[in-house]
Amino acid sequence: MGKATGFLDYCREVPGEIRPQERVDSWQEFAVPMEEEKLRTQGARCMDCGIPFCHAGQLLSGMASGCPVHNLIPEWNDLVYRGNWKEALKRLQKTSNFPEFTSRVCPAPCEGACTVGKSGQPVTIKSIEKAIIDRGFAEGWIRPRVPAASSGKKIAVVGSGPAGLACADQLNQAGHAVTVYERADRIGGLLMYGIPNMKLDKQIVQRRVDLLAAEGIRFITGVEVGKALSVDQLRTEFDAVVLCCGATQARELKMEGRELRGVHQAMEFLSQTTKSLLDSELQDGRFLSAEDKHVVVIGGGDTGTDCVATAIRQGCKSVTQLEILPRLSLTRQPDNPWPEWPKVQKTDYGQAEAVELFGQDPRIFETSTKSLLGDEQGQVTGVRTVRVEWNQHDGRRVPVEMAGSEQVIPADLVLLALGFSGPEITLPVQLGLEQDERTNVKAELGDFRTNMEGVFAAGDMRRGQSLVAWAMYEGRLAAREVERYLVGSSALT
């Protein structure tokens, strides 16, 4: 534990940020690192709570509670408090392959389950995690770990997102020869092209990829398995195949005007922007531009927020974010008790930037899209919306349109941030893989075997759209089961 009375003696502090007005001209990360003394003080707030729900990694009421990868949080908080950063890094690396990713993009369900947060402010777990891993790289403590011996077994991992990379990392460290296939031109999956640079700097992703390559993992980009390369070829060449292709099938908006020019899926907008940024610092013009446009984002989740922030950096004229759900309360409600994920209203980075630049929160709650309007040239010009109220019907809440509440919001660019329905079906259908009712590949958690011999599935492709931490966890567990399949036992955790 940290200091016995630390949670009583010290208040919660989080890292500062560059002001929105200043950071929107940059695509760089904007968090300001905390001083070491402040970080040690925050570590001292971690109490000896007996049962640390923070690293329980469970689902409560359908949402994550605690750390999905089961980080040993109280242990490394105590080590940071005592100034033993190198040992803290060792504890962190026992359970997490890529803390530099989760400490930047994870919504921190660990903090939602923190015991101190039951009646006060939780420990700043995420900030301490980030400080540990960043210091590890800065001090040169993190170096390539080349396996001492080879098992002679060869494994192909399809997909280089967090699940695929975690699986590859584990298997490689166990002495197996791992090849990772990625259809994009860079390794990283959603870490590279699905998350904007100001949220996760791509140099940080590439640094880890380079480290994994130095440790012996072979990466092949620009190859789509199922098209340029058949799975039959992989099964012939490799002893096992692990599918970690993600849940990249975007939900569609089926309504009048969907075919208009200027209406795009959010991930198309975000990935093109990041690729152009990396290729040419946006000089090649090969991306969807929001410059001088009225932008409407349909969808209120993290992807929607990323679209708002990206549109602002591109120089949009205005940005509006539509959310069909009601605005949440500012505090936990009786039906949302600790240690469940706290369903409370927050203002994320994109909204904070819009407030400062345009003078108001871009979000309009309890609003449904009726249709998309266009001009004679087929260009989108507006979004027709209607306000809704949520009523009980047959034991569940349903949205009911409010009469006389229709309005038209001007729009030159409409971005659909409606989440993902599951994995793309081409590969599962081609392989004859069994799928569940949500089109996810059928493979039991803890076993990860598909109905095809020697083929495993993990991450969002198996469980559906989820957190980066869940994907990493599944990649780790899948690696263990692959090793058991190949050699009969496994020491991987």
pLDDT attached to residue 223:
96
Asked if the structure places residue 322 within a domain, the reply is yes
102 and 170 share one domain: no
In a domain, 470, yes or no: yes
- Note whether 242 and 120 are same-domain residues: no
Residue 198 CA to residue 286 CA, distance in Å, equals 19
Domain final residue pick, 85, 108, 138: 138
The answer to whether 452 and 432 are in contact (CB under 8 A) is: yes
pLDDT score at 1: 66
Q: Are residues 270 and 413 in the same domain?
A: yes
Q: Is 287 left (phi over 0), alpha (psi -120 to 50) or beta?
A: beta
Block means of pLDDT (10 residues each) for the chain, 493 residues, are 85 96 97 96 91 92 94 96 98 98 97 93 97 98 96 97 98 98 98 98 98 98 92 93 96 96 98 98 98 97 96 98 96 94 95 97 97 98 97 90 97 97 91 92 96 97 96 98 97 92
Integer Cα distance of 491 and 209 in angstroms:
24
How much is the pLDDT for 48?
75
- Residue that is last in its domain, among 96, 114, 138: 138
Residue-level pLDDT at 51? 87
Determine the pLDDT at residue 210.
98
On whether residue 391 sits in a domain, the answer given is yes
Q: Are 10 and 97 part of one and the same domain?
A: yes
> Last residue of a domain, which of 418, 453, 472?
418
Same domain, 95 and 236: no
CATH number, residue 294: 3.50.50.60
Mark whether 372 and 294 lie in a shared domain.
yes
- Same domain flag for 290 and 162: no
- Domains of the chain: total: 3
pLDDT at 395: 84
Q: Which residue range is the domain that position 61 belongs to?
A: 6-138
| 259 and 228 housed in the same domain | no
Residues 81 and 18 in one domain: yes
- Co-location of 240 and 273 in the same domain: no
Please indicate, yes or no, whether residues 434 and 387 belong to a single structural domain of this protein.
no
For residue 1, tell me if it sits in a domain.
Answer: no
